[in-house]
Amino acid sequence: MTTLETRKSDHLHVTVLSDRCAGCQECVIRCPVSALSMDHANWTVLADDDACVGCRQCERTCPFAAINVEGAMVLTDRLDPPLAHPVTLRGDLSETRAGYSSWSEVLHEAGRCLECPDPTCVRGCPAHNDIPGFIAALARHDLGDAHEILSRTSVLPDVCSRVCNQSAQCEGACTWSLAGSAPVAIGRLERFVADQMLTPAPVVNPSGAARELRVAIVGAGPAAVGAAWDLVEAGASVRVFEKDETVGGLCSWGMPEFTLPTAVALRAWEQLEAAGVEIHSSHPVDAEEIEVLLRDHDAVIAAHGAGVPVRLPVPGMDLEGVVDATLFLKGAKHALEVADNATHFLTSLGLTATRHQRVLVLGAGNTAMDVARMARRLGLEATCVDWLDERFALARPDELAEARHEGVDVLFQRTVLKVEGPGRVKEATLAHTTQSGAGQTPKVIPGVSDTLSIDLVVMAMGYRSDASFSSVLPGLPVRRVDRAMAPRQWVASGVMANHASSYAHHSPVGSLALGREVGLNAAAMPVAPRLWVVGDALTGPSTVVEAMAQGRRAARAILDAQPSTPSRTGGANGPRPGRVLVCFESEGGTTAAVAQRIGTKLRESGAEVDVMSIEKVGAMDLAHADALVVGTWVEGLVLAKVHPAKAARLWLEGLPWLGGRPVGVFCTYGVNPRGALGEMRTILEAKGALVHLERAMNRRDLKDPSATFDSEFAQSMLQHILR
């Protein structure tokens, strides 16, 4: 049964405030059920209550708050298969989250999708999967087409559909979720496709554009999978260096079998190795060896993750019986997969299997849930503590519910004050905390505490980047916060309009998604010549799909740049002219005219040039350029303070790390530019740019036929282009 077949006692009513409606048609073009049209007599919106399903897209997208929808949403209930809880938990590693088992289930859920004209779920997906497209294919009972659509943007659909936090990504951004109802089960539909049709191995093109490229990848997690996949398909020679004995990263050693089966976690790596990717396991790479790899390879991608555990600085953490999540998860996974090994593992931790013993897990995120649930399968009691309010929990809502169902005691608004014991941990003192908002740091409530008897402490509060790499990987990690004004297309889609439903823990899914775009943009930009960074090493801990998407973005940038070692000249396809991006912020057209003149002179000198306004510049435009020219007009009062235009400042502050890229800046002015150019230089140098040229131009310069500022600017810039 489809959404549109469930009618009609819902009494939906759409009110259009004609005095506010400007006739912009933003709502009309985005209504998924054609319930809105235009009254061309007075150029206002007309609403058809009988056609409306109550998704509220019109409310979210109207820039003038001219529409109000009243009444219940018209949609069928979401279909979630029950959890497959084992009868006997101890030692059981079978998957607990079931996928859809029949076409009838799939068709029911696919029928809930509205196939939105401007789908917010696609913005919520870090890989930008065509979600309405593959779901529409399923609704047509066309599994092959659904599989092909997903394959365009994802090489890990079987992994992502199992472990990614869809509630804060695609499903949280579903129009039904934004309206306050249950979203389409996108993850389960994706899993059905992936389970029915395995992702085919990469198809290598030996005569592709990258046939002479040699690329080294440090790390073998999901970011490395995405990068290696696209590179090897293009014909590049790819070598992967992994510090652990097995590939897969956190997916392999850190995710339990009952969440992500090992066969699924390793599938992509087995296919990559069969396609010719060289994998060097048990080969750690430090900062110094990065330089060695750069001498031997045309490009290096650092995808080594964020592997340093966060430690809680409280008394007693140096006692015996305190371990980190990495040690526990690796050991527990091996212990449960190998017969009769559990007792040996428990003994190595100073525990026994003959009596009830309690593990205190510090943290209540997804890693903490994995630790606690593994502990339960080893026969241990488990308590997780987190100082956050449960409303702002970091764990997936379904994973938190599963852990509690399996007997894990999860205590929010608690933090450890101290751990005590005669040589080994025996007791923990827990303080109570309070937190009023998601963005606020919890505060300890004085004089309120509990004590808990414990036998082991596992630190599972997350990971951070290895500081030893800071000398060769500057400017990291990148903060996933977009400081610039949200792009028009994002605002207009409605994804930024409000928080998601309780299903998504009221996460600001629009802001989170826009922040992930910052990481994607940064992944395309080398942090130093021929050196890219992706995944957790770039942005800190992230989801599998986010890391994979960043890896693919870096691979595309490498294939576009065709870098080469100093021993080879001209890249894989011979020498090419320098590529310059000339971008501008223009109020009245003067700055745009200057940018065009500079662009023309650069082309006449043999450079490849793109000239565009800053609002149109995308990640790959930046990655494509060897050099950058940025122009702006100035605003402010000469007697007070003169700045570059606000839009230009925000855009500059939102740029990714520029990795030594040569930059020229100019401004146009009417009276006096004062410190506008210096302000631009300061921002750009903080982004790792090398600002070689500054020029302030009076508007009269454009009217002077003898003016040579454009030629001088172009020639100076060409001297600093890398090649």
What are the C-alpha distances in Å from 463 to residues 272, 385, 488, 544? 28, 17, 35, 15
* pLDDT given for residue 127 in this prediction: 96
- Domain(s) labelled CATH 3.30.70.20 in the chain stretch across 3-70
pLDDT above 70 coverage of the chain, percent = 93
Instruction: Indicate if the pLDDT at residue 112 is higher than 80.
Output: yes
In this structure, the strands spanning 427-434 and 443-453 are antiparallel
* pLDDT given for residue 279 in this prediction: 97
CATH class of segment(s) 3-70: alpha beta
Angle at 566 between CA 562 and CA 571, to 5 degrees: 20
Please compute the mean of the pLDDT values over residues 159-182 and round it to a whole number.
93
Contact 367, 326 (CB under 8 A): no
Angle at 162 between CA 224 and CA 169, to 5 degrees: 80
Q: Bigger pLDDT: 84 or 317? A: 317
Q: Bigger pLDDT: 646 or 716? A: 646
Q: Bigger pLDDT: 339 or 51? A: 51
What are the C-alpha distances in Å from 585 to residues 123, 244, 483, 595, 638? 26, 48, 17, 10, 20
> 3-state SS string over 57-92?
HHHHHCCCCCEEEECCCCCCCCCCCCCCCCCCCCCC
* pLDDT given for residue 7 in this prediction: 40
Label residue 619 by pLDDT band (50, 70, 90). Answer: confident
Instruction: Indicate if the pLDDT at residue 100 is higher than 90.
Output: yes
* pLDDT given for residue 36 in this prediction: 96
Instruction: Indicate if the pLDDT at residue 573 is higher than 70.
Output: no
Q: What string of DSSP letters covers 666-723?
A: EEEESS--TTHHHHHHHHHHHTT-EEEEEEEEEGGGGG-TT--HHHHHHHHHHTTS--
CA–CA gap between residue 381 and residue 540 (Å, rounded): 31
Please compute the mean of the pLDDT values over residues 255-273 and round it to a whole number.
94
- Domain(s) labelled CATH 3.40.50.360 in the chain stretch across 579-718
State the number of CA atoms in the 13 A half-sphere of 604 facing the CB.
Answer: 12
* pLDDT given for residue 5 in this prediction: 37
* pLDDT given for residue 308 in this prediction: 84
Label residue 340 by pLDDT band (50, 70, 90). Answer: low
Label residue 635 by pLDDT band (50, 70, 90). Answer: confident
* pLDDT given for residue 636 in this prediction: 77
Q: What string of DSSP letters covers 43-56?
A: TEEEE-TTT-----
Label residue 580 by pLDDT band (50, 70, 90). Answer: very high
* pLDDT given for residue 25 in this prediction: 93
pLDDT digits (tens, 9 = 90+) for 656-710: 888 888 999 999 988 788 889 999 999 999 998 999 889 888 877 767 666 677 7
679: Cα separation from own chain's centroid: 30
Label residue 506 by pLDDT band (50, 70, 90). Answer: confident
What are the C-alpha distances in Å from 567 to residues 94, 237, 527, 571, 572? 52, 17, 21, 10, 12
CA neighbor of 573 nearest in space, from 216, 227, 234, 295: 234
In this structure, the strands spanning 579-585 and 358-362 are unpaired
DSSP code at position 359: E
* 422: Cβ contacts below 8 Å, ≥ 6 apart: none
Q: Considering Cα of 115, then 116, then 117, then 122, what sign does the dihedral take?
A: negative
Element (DSSP H or E) covering residue 265: helix 262-274
Instruction: Indicate if the pLDDT at residue 11 is higher than 80.
Output: no
What are the C-alpha distances in Å from 346 to residues 236, 271, 342, 355, 473? 45, 35, 6, 12, 39
Q: Bigger pLDDT: 520 or 352? A: 520
Tallying the residues shown for the chain, one arrives at: 723
Q: What string of DSSP letters covers 531-554?
A: EEE-THHHHSS--HHHHHHHHHHH
* pLDDT given for residue 87 in this prediction: 74
Residue-averaged pLDDT of the chain: 89
Please compute the mean of the pLDDT values over residues 321-342 and round it to a whole number.
87
345-349 own/partner pairs: CB under 8 Å, 24+ apart: 345/378, 346/378, 349/321, 349/323, 349/456
* pLDDT given for residue 6 in this prediction: 37
Please compute the mean of the pLDDT values over residues 215-227 and round it to a whole number.
97
Q: Bigger pLDDT: 186 or 579? A: 186
Range with lowest mean pLDDT among 153-157, 298-302, 603-607: 603-607
Instruction: Indicate if the pLDDT at residue 498 is higher than 80.
Output: no
CA–CA gap between residue 158 and residue 225 (Å, rounded): 13
Backbone angles phi, psi at 513, to 5 degrees: -65, -40
What are the C-alpha distances in Å from 564 to residues 214, 240, 627? 8, 18, 18
DSSP code at position 4: G
CA neighbor of 550 nearest in space, from 313, 217, 119, 309: 217
Contact 368, 362 (CB under 8 A): yes
Q: Bigger pLDDT: 583 or 486? A: 583
Instruction: Indicate if the pLDDT at residue 405 is higher than 60.
Output: yes
Label residue 483 by pLDDT band (50, 70, 90). Answer: low
Range with lowest mean pLDDT among 96-100, 426-430, 661-665, 699-703: 699-703
Neighbour-count burial of 277, counting CB atoms closer than 10 A to its CB (0-12 exposed, 13-18 middle, 19+ buried): buried
pLDDT digits (tens, 9 = 90+) for 145-158: 999 999 999 999 99
Q: Which CATH superfamily is domain 579-718 in?
A: Flavodoxin domain (3.40.50.360)
- Partnered with residue 320 across adjacent β-strands are 424
Q: Assign 647 to helix, strand or coil.
A: helix
* pLDDT given for residue 1 in this prediction: 31
Contact 270, 262 (CB under 8 A): no
Q: What is the rounded radius of gyration, in angstroms, for the C-alpha atoms of the chain?
A: 28
Label residue 339 by pLDDT band (50, 70, 90). Answer: low
Label residue 233 by pLDDT band (50, 70, 90). Answer: very high
* pLDDT given for residue 338 in this prediction: 74
Please compute the mean of the pLDDT values over residues 211-239 and round it to a whole number.
95
CATH level 2 (architecture), domain 322-462 = 3-Layer(bba) Sandwich (3.50)
* pLDDT given for residue 292 in this prediction: 94
DSSP code at position 503: G
* pLDDT given for residue 172 in this prediction: 93
Instruction: Indicate if the pLDDT at residue 490 is higher than 80.
Output: yes
CA–CA gap between residue 32 and residue 55 (Å, rounded): 9
CA–CA gap between residue 144 and residue 135 (Å, rounded): 12
* pLDDT given for residue 125 in this prediction: 96
* pLDDT given for residue 485 in this prediction: 65
CA–CA gap between residue 99 and residue 96 (Å, rounded): 10
- Domain(s) labelled CATH 3.50.50.60 in the chain stretch across 322-462
Burial of 658-684, coded b for 16+ CB within 10 Å and e otherwise, reads bbebbbbbbbbbeeebbebbebbbebb
Instruction: Indicate if the pLDDT at residue 52 is higher than 80.
Output: yes
Encoded tokens for 241: 């260096």
CA–CA gap between residue 614 and residue 630 (Å, rounded): 9
Element (DSSP H or E) covering residue 444: strand 443-453
